[in-house]
Copies of this chain bind each other. A is one copy, B any other.
Amino acid sequence: MADRDPFALTCPVPIGAYPTVLLAHGGGGRLMQQLIAQVFAPAFSNPALDAQHDASLVQAGATRLAFTTDSYVVKPLFFPGGDIGSLAINGTVNDLAMAGARPLALSAGFILEEGLPIDTLTRIVASMREAAAQVGVHVVTGDTKVVDRGKGDGVFINTAGIGIVEHQLTIGPAAVRPGDAVIISGDVGRHGIAIMASREGLQFETTIESDCAPLVAPVLDLISAGIDVHCLRDLTRGGLASALNEIASVRGCSIAIDERAVAVREDVQGACELLGFDPLYVANEGRFVAFVPPDQAARAVAVLRRHAVSSDAVVIGTVSEDPSNLVTVKTRIGASRVVDMLSGEQLPRIC
């Protein structure tokens, strides 16, 4: 996800408490929000940035554009279900999709570490080509830098994307309404666990593959079906829990979800229990939530289920005006617990 401006988020620990950058500052949680709020937002504040979307909206003549960027530093470079190349394309394409935009063009900036095997780079680039072809978008401009051995980590990739916004909806946290149904596009936790298992050499009975995939088709289908989509968000760093917390904080509302409705594959659940992770916070790269009016929820779910990538779409919760701005989960045993925003990611460098 592109960073969002968190003016409205609570920042209990002042950034001054951390005079240097920590790994958690890149984790999509509260520390990253603090870094943005205290360093980036005051410097760069402008209406497009302050709107807090995955992608910013920019008017270009008569055309409404979405514009987004992400750098990818995932470790390892190759993992079950994907690699840094497919991630760099899908991640940015998905940020455009979360604005309801049709991807128009991508850029790719490579920071290579001296000593990287050319074959490795060639494999990554081939994977990028394939991922881009899958959504019918081109990398139209690029850049290559090389840093000295020991000053990088193989390869880092930045992709930026331009999309065309062809609808008249306002999609974003501000458009969320009390009563909105919260729909999730499928099971959670696979990307983060796939990375973790691959990085640490963990063996499970089954190979857990990343869910890394493009989300453009189901989103554009939702919009062309006439669903009044209020908000979309992909569930990357910080997972479902962080995404819902951000939306609740920015919008000023509460969100209640039913844990039983959130699918977690048995092997992912097992790995989470073994590793001490909560699957609600584990990163995904092919999952999103959609906020829609309650009377359109069933139709929206039906539209999403037409697409393989969102064939398990289901309503998981609802929005209320409750001013506590909390995200609560009704657990499997019927109790209710608050899921707060974490300080950082449970797993660093997952994207």
- Tell which of B2, B19, B25, B61 touches A61, judged by Cβ atoms closer than 8 Å: B61
A32 interface hit (Cβ, 8 Å): yes
Does A39 touch B at the CB level, under 8 Å? yes
- Residues 296-335 of chain A: 1 if any B CB is under 8 Å from the residue's CB, otherwise 0? 0000000000000000000000000000000000000000
Q: By the criterion CB–CB under 8 Å, are A49 and B119 in contact?
A: no
Least CB distance from A73 to B in Å reads 5
How many copies of this kind of chain does the complex include? 2
Task: Give chain A interface residues in 184-207, CB to chain B under 8 Å.
Answer: none
CB distance from A77 to the nearest CB of B (A): 13
Interface size class of A (residues with CB under 8 A): 35 or more
Whether the Cβ atoms of A62 and B65 lie closer than 8 Å is: no
Is A113 located at the chain interface by the 8 A CB criterion?
Answer: yes
Shortest beta-carbon distance, A97 to chain B, in Å? 15
Partner of A143, one of B70, B104, B118, B151: B70
Interface string of A1-29 (1 = CB under 8 A from B): 01100000000000100111111111100
- A146 touches which one: B25, B108, B115 (CB < 8 A)? B25
Residue of B3, B56, B113, B139 near A21 (CB, 8 A) is: B113
Looking at the assembled complex, report how far the CB atom of A11 sits from the nearest CB atom of chain B, in whole angstroms. 14
**Does chain B have a CB within 8 A of A251?**
no
Selected contact of A148 from candidates B61, B145, B164, B348, CB within 8 Å: B348
Q: Which residues of B contact A118 (CB under 8 A)?
A: 15, 18-21, 35, 39
Query: Does B58 lie within 8 Å of A61, measured CB to CB?
Result: no
Q: Is the CB of A162 within 8 A of B58?
A: yes
Enumerate A122-145 residues with CB–CB distance to B below 8 Å.
122, 125-126, 128-129, 132, 138-145
Asked whether, in the complex, the Cβ of B115 is within 8 Å of the Cβ of A20, the reply is: yes
List the interface of chain A (C-beta within 8 A of B): 2-3, 15, 18-27, 32, 35-36, 39-40, 43-44, 46, 48-49, 55-56, 58, 60-63, 65, 67-73, 104-105, 107-119, 121-122, 125-126, 128-129, 132, 138-148, 150-153, 156, 158, 160, 162, 164, 348-349, 351
**Interface pairs (13), CB distance under 8 Å:** A2-B143, A20-B116, A36-B144, A39-B118, A43-B126, A49-B140, A49-B142, A68-B141, A71-B110, A71-B143, A151-B152, A151-B153, A158-B158
